[in-house]
Structure formats: C-alpha cells, structure tokens
Amino acid sequence: MKENILITLAVQFAIMSLLAFGGANAVVPEMHRQAVELRSWMNQREFADMFAMSQAAPGPNVMLVTLIGYHVAGFAGAAVATLAMCGPTAVLAQFLSRVWDQFKDAPWRAAVQKGITPISVGLVGASAIVLTRASDHSWVAFAITVATAVTAYWTRWNPLWLIGIAALAGLTGFV
C-alpha cells in the first residue's frame, strides 16, 4: 500500500522533527530504530551507507531523510519525508522564537535551556553509538572511526578531507 507508506513516513518524520532537540543528528537513533528495527525498511549496512552519503554530500545533514524516503517509496517518499522533517518545526520555530525573546530575563528560561542542553548532547552521543555499531564490522573500520574521531577532535581540518581519506582507504581495499 503506497499511500499507507507515505502517511507513515509523513507522521513518523514529523514527530521525529518535533523531538529533535539538538538538530537532525539527535534523532538518528530514532530513525535507525524506526527504519531498521521496527519496520525493516532497510538493513544496518544500508542505514550506515545512507548516513555516510548524507555526511559526505553538500547541504545540511538532515537530508538523510531524503535518502530514507526515496529508499522506502521512491520520489514521492523522498519529498514527503523531507517536507515532514523540515516543515513543521520551521513553522513552530516562528512562535517559539518570539516567546523565547519575550522571556529573555525570566529565570525559568535559563533553567529550561540549562536542562535541555545535556539531553540534546546526550542524543547526539546516542547517535555516535548507533552509527559506530552500524558501520564498524571489522577492526580496520573501527580503526578508521577512532582515527577520524581523534583527528577531528584535536585538529581544525576540514572534515571533508577525513572523509576523502577514508573513501580512498576503502577504495584501495584497506577496509
């Protein structure tokens, strides 16, 4: 049932976007849970591949949903998933940004901000765990993860160089 799949995509990604405290990377584990574990739209490897492509391509990393949508239901799926992920929160942000400015000096605002921050970082932390599990099936792959993490943490290199090196390592058969 194609319509049903499109509705599922729309509803699931809209809900996810509203829960995405910390941006698109915060809901990668939930996307993985939905797409791989609950609905079997794809396997581990395909999910890891798509995340890799969304990171390597220009544009915001939220575009991972376009790849998932296309995989599930072709062009319509890609369009629905992208709109559902990028539409509702853009509208919501209009209201929230006004409210937020209005209560600039309210003590509760500081408490909310301080309370949400560790959660949003924790969500991205969960993404790191899920993605490492999904993509590291060999010691070499694991070594690439560690080397990339260390280099990206301690240097200010453009991440694309690291992705390029990793792609080359893969192509030449090291992974």
For the bound state, the minimum distance from the C-beta of residue 6 to another protein, rounded and expressed in Å, comes to 16
Q: Name which of residues 22 to 51 contact another protein (CB under 8 A).
A: 22-25, 27, 29-30, 33, 37, 46, 48-51
Please, which residue, 2 or 122, has the CB nearer to another protein? 122
Q: Name which of residues 45 to 104 contact another protein (CB under 8 A).
A: 46, 48-60, 62-63, 66-67, 70-71, 75, 78-79, 82, 85-86, 88-94, 96-97, 100
Q: Name which of residues 99 to 158 contact another protein (CB under 8 A).
A: 100, 107-108, 110-132, 134-136, 141-142, 144-153, 158
Number of residues near another protein (by CB under 8 A): 107
For the bound state, the minimum distance from the C-beta of residue 79 to another protein, rounded and expressed in Å, comes to 8
Number of residues that this document lists for the chain: 175
In degrees and rounded to multiples of 5, residue 39 shows phi and psi of: -110, -5
Q: Distance between CA 142 and CA 164 in Å, rounded?
A: 17
Question: How far are the Cα atoms of 28, 33, 43, 71, 125 from residue 134, in angstroms, in the given order?
Answer: 12, 12, 9, 18, 14
Please, which residue, 7 or 160, has the CB nearer to another protein? 160
In degrees and rounded to multiples of 5, residue 119 shows phi and psi of: -70, -45
Q: Distance between CA 87 and CA 90 in Å, rounded?
A: 5
